[in-house]
Amino acid sequence: MNGVEHERRGTTARTRTVLAAGLAIAAIAAALVWGRASPGEPTPPASLPVLPVQVAAVLPEEGQEPAEGSALASTAAAAGGWFAAVLHHDREARLGFRVPGRLSSLPVRIGDRLPAGALLAQLDPALYAAAAERAAADYARVSRTAERTSGLAREGAAAAAQASDATDLSRAAAAGLAASRTDLRDTRLTMPFAGTVIERAAEQGEVVSPGQPVLTVADTASPLLARAQVPAAVAVGLQQGQSGQVRLADGQLRSARVLRVAGAADSRTGLVTVELALASGAGAISGAPASVQLAAASETAATPGRSRVLRIPAEALLEAQGHRASVYVIDLKGRARRRPVELLGLVDRDARIMGLPVGVRVITLGAGFVRDGQRVEVTR
């Protein structure tokens, strides 16, 4: 055994020793709590101390300990994990002008509620009004010329080609007039739908470029979403309507469901965008940071994997009798939940089982001290 391997094993042993000591202390505390309970009365899990435990992700039979950086390792690492997210309303728009110009009017403020079509901002229209007037004059002049040329052509005093060219010039002038009027109209920025102004990115008097964000508006009646980017190995198992939860910046937890999963990963990061709709958006603000936990990486994941042969550390098994055993898994709220499994046999230090979803976390070190429903803290 080389020195590095010896040091690694020594560190692991020390970690397990420290954790075992912590478990012993927690067990004593739990015993004191149980001692205060009335005889025959079960101790509520909420009154038990938080227990430090170690966990392992359930892996399929064909996937032994996954290689670092592999897709399976990403899935296992994400099991029960949290992903950074940003909140936003489902119907939300960043608005800007199609044409450049100087902001001559910006009457709205953050928090203003406005109906669809309400004026939000106005560019100085002088140049565009002059351009529209010039285009109108050009169109009138060219149209008169086209009419005269067509009349002369009918009388044989002008060539048919001249009449055709004059007609084409009239049509081009008409298109130029329509474009200039559109530019003039686009100096006004209006609400695309009824909603609330949630951000101002410019001020009156500034010169803005085409497409430059000026205001952000949102339909606050639309669902509040949490947008996160997750590894492709996690996203592949997600389905619309699947449950999860969102943790707000102040620590509040909100239940949520998967609304959308992007059909392709980002070419630069390899991550997939996922949007979850919060059951309640009260007290949450668009643009605020949050974090999401996906049910695909939890006990509430979809069930196709339950019929597969799986592997878990043998130390996670409890009360194994024949082909029956049980384990503790960790739910979305960080509580231990006892679940039955079918035991198929032992291979080295692993147990071959059926009855759990791939990726769910099972308690290994500390499983013998846990009670069903007790809060636990995962340590490494």
Is the pLDDT reported for residue 23 higher than 60? no
Task: Report the CATH number that the domain containing residue 208 is assigned in CATH.
Answer: 2.40.50.100
Closest by alpha carbon to 91, among 224, 198, 212?
224
- 280 and 325 in a single domain? The answer is no
Q: Which of 297, 321, 353 is the last residue of a domain?
A: 297
Which range of 99-113, 324-338, 363-377 scores highest in mean pLDDT? It is 99-113
- 291 and 324 in a single domain? The answer is no
* Percent of the chain whose pLDDT exceeds 70: 78
Of 61-70, 92-101, 207-216, 236-245, which range is least confident? 61-70
The reported pLDDT for the residue numbered 283 is: 78
Instruction: Find the mean pLDDT for residues 193-204.
Output: 95
* Percent of the chain whose pLDDT exceeds 90: 43
The reported pLDDT for the residue numbered 294 is: 81
- 241 and 172 in a single domain? The answer is no
Confidence tier at 80 by pLDDT (50, 70, 90)? low
- 96 and 191 in a single domain? The answer is yes
- 30 and 115 in a single domain? The answer is no
- 235 and 272 in a single domain? The answer is yes
Q: What 3 state SS string does the chain have?
A: CCHHHHHHHHHHHHHHHHHHHHHHHHHHHHHHHHHHCCCCCCCCHHHCCCEEECEEECEECCCCCCCCCCHHHHHHHHCCCCEEEEEEECCEEEECCCCCEEEEECCCCCCCEECCCCEEEEECCHHHHHHHHHHHHHHHHHHHHHHHHHHHHHHCCCCHHHHHHHHHHHHHHHHHHHHHHHHHHCCEEECCCCEEEEEECCCCCCEECCCCCCEEEECCCCCEEEEEEEEHHHHCCCCCCCEEEEEECCCCEEEEEEEEECCCCCCCCCEEEEEEEECCCCCCCCCCEEEEEEHHHCCCCCCHHHHCCEEEEHHHCEEEECCEEEEEEECCCCEEEEEEEEEEEEECCEEEEECCCCCCEEECCCHHHCCCCCEEEECC
Domains: count for the chain: 4
Give the domain extent around 150. 126-185
Task: Report the CATH number that the domain containing residue 134 is assigned in CATH.
Answer: 1.10.287.470
The reported pLDDT for the residue numbered 310 is: 85
- 195 and 107 in a single domain? The answer is yes
Confidence tier at 348 by pLDDT (50, 70, 90)? confident
Question: Mean pLDDT, the chain, as a whole number?
Answer: 82
The reported pLDDT for the residue numbered 299 is: 45
Which range of 133-142, 224-233, 287-296, 369-378 scores highest in mean pLDDT? It is 133-142
- 32 and 100 in a single domain? The answer is no
- 343 and 316 in a single domain? The answer is yes
- 63 and 21 in a single domain? The answer is yes
The reported pLDDT for the residue numbered 218 is: 95
The reported pLDDT for the residue numbered 37 is: 45
Confidence tier at 297 by pLDDT (50, 70, 90)? very low
Query: Burial level of 147, CB count in 10 A (0-12/13-18/19+)?
Result: middle
Is the pLDDT reported for residue 306 higher than 80? no
Is the pLDDT reported for residue 344 higher than 80? yes
Instruction: Find the mean pLDDT for residues 168-189.
Output: 96
Residues 6 or more apart whose Cβ sits within 8 Å of residue 19:
52, 54, 365, 366, 379
Tokens 């679940």 belong to: 339
The reported pLDDT for the residue numbered 116 is: 95
- 70 and 106 in a single domain? The answer is no
Cα 180 to Cα 136: distance, rounded to the nearest angstrom:
9
**76's tokens:** 């296992």
Task: Report the CATH number that the domain containing residue 260 is assigned in CATH.
Answer: 2.40.30.170
Confidence tier at 47 by pLDDT (50, 70, 90)? low
- 235 and 284 in a single domain? The answer is yes
